[in-house]
Structure 1
């Protein structure tokens, strides 16, 4: 299975980078992982609603350029469906059984995802009604993907 994380912004703090490296290393046993960090568009201080929309649309266009037509897209969004770890594992296993070998998880920037990205998504996934920094969300997502593979292989890790 090919799993990609398409995300806005680079990791600046070493503790986030270290965590991403650790889970990336663990995931190499189960899938081909690609993390595609895209440029975060500049947003002026006291930006207007129109400027915020323009930033989301520009980031959305960059995200959509990274997605192949046959890729199953899972957008991380507050309004998405909340899943337990077991449910996410089951979803990933079902996708594999359906022959969907390319899965892309999308993490937006600080303003979220554009309508165009949300429309392209095959599934909206919510981790919480709370808002998290996108750097932290990347680590949480990688951990849950790793946990999904461990659950599906009946390997110890998930409790």
Structure 2
């Protein structure tokens, strides 16, 4: 399976980069994994303009990638790790060879992106920095694959 995280901006903190690199390495036996970043416009333009530009660039990347798109959204469906592992396995059984997880920028995203994605997933009602969310998400992706492959990681 091909798995991507499509997100806005670059990670600057070394501890987050180190964590992401560790889970990328762990994912290698299970999936072809990549992180694709689009430019963050937050400091250059108004929040609305930034959100529209970032959303447009995210949709462009998703159109190029194809596959099944899961948008991280506080109003999305909540699942626990076991449910999400089963869901990911179900997507594979349905013939979905690519799954893209999308993390918006600090200003959010427009309804166009919500409508473009097949699914919205919520990790909780808390707000997380979008850079940290990448690390949380990649750890969970590894957890889901470890559950499905019966690797002793999830407790």
TM-score (normalizing by structure 2): 0.95
Runs (4 or more) in structure 1 with deviation over 6 Å come to none
Identify the residue that residue 96 of structure 1 maps to in structure 2. Answer: 92
Structure 2 residues not aligned, in runs of 5+: none
How far 1:112 sits from its partner (Å)?
Answer: 1.4
Structure 2 residue 57 is matched with structure 1 residue 62: yes
1:69-124 CA-partner distances (Å, limit 9, x unpaired): 74100000100011100011011000000000111000001111221111111110
Distance in 1 separating the partners of 2:9 and 2:78 = 24
Q: Classify the secondary structure of the residue corresponding to 1:86.
A: helix
| Equivalent residue number for residue 154 of structure 1 | 150
In the other structure, the counterpart of 2:104 is 108
Tell me the TM-score normalised to structure 1 length.
0.93
Query: Secondary structure of the equivalent of 1:26?
Result: helix
User: Which residue number corresponds to residue 27 of structure 1?
Assistant: 27
Question: Structure 1: how far apart are the matches of 2:98 and 2:81?
Answer: 20
1:36 aligns to what? Answer: 36
Counting matched residue pairs gives 154
**Where do 5+ consecutive residues of structure 1 fail to align?**
none
